[in-house]
Amino acid sequence: MTIDYANSGLTIQQAIVQEAKRIGKGEGRGSVLWQGLRVQAFCWMEIPSDGEVKIELVRYKKDDWIGIDLRFEGGGVKGQDGWINKLRTWASSDFDDSVSYQYTSLGRVSVSIVSNVRFPNGRSSVESLTGNSAFYFERVGSEIVGHASHAQSVPPDFEFLEFRLKFIA
């Protein structure tokens, strides 16, 4: 039986842990149903082993920082100082909304959302896999369109960030 956790009182991360305990290992682990959407905090995707990744930040809320982390299994993206395993792209007016990089991998990339989390004492921390940090994907032609929620969005807001990923061999 599938459970929709939207009205559970849990954060998405708490719901993912609850669901993992409920179903154990296997298909669907790491994701939950939330208002009818299959949302996840982290996923692996099959991609061409070598190519170009294009990231477009279509829209985002400017009131707090949110970004996308891509980790290329067994490889990385070509940066100014060599190959970098983790590519972090922040949605901010301080940076370009569209970037592309050459990459190499073993044919898989992990995707997760990163948020700048602010605390009552005025401090902040860059965090992933916490609170309501999650996303869902839809395929539009050869592109992957992601909709992401900031870790501190209550309730989760999957329009906080919309992004497009395209992997070209």
pTM metric for this prediction: 0.91
Is the same domain home to 65 and 35? no
Q: Is the peptide bond before 120 cis (omega within 30 degrees of 0)?
A: no
Give CA separation, 4 vs 16, 19, 38, in Å.
Answer: 11, 10, 9
Contact 25, 32 (CB under 8 A): no
Round to whole Å and give the CA distance between 131 and 127.
Answer: 9
pLDDT digits (tens, 9 = 90+) for 25-50: 655 568 999 999 999 999 999 999 99
Contact 54, 29 (CB under 8 A): no
Show the domain range for 11.
5-40
Place of tokens 């497009």: 164
Provide the domain count of the chain.
2
Structure tokens at 132: 């309501």
Say which CATH number the domain at 138 has: 2.60.120
Is the same domain home to 98 and 127? yes
pLDDT digits (tens, 9 = 90+) for 53-108: 999 999 999 878 999 999 999 999 988 888 899 999 999 989 999 999 999 999 99
* Amino acid, res. 157: D
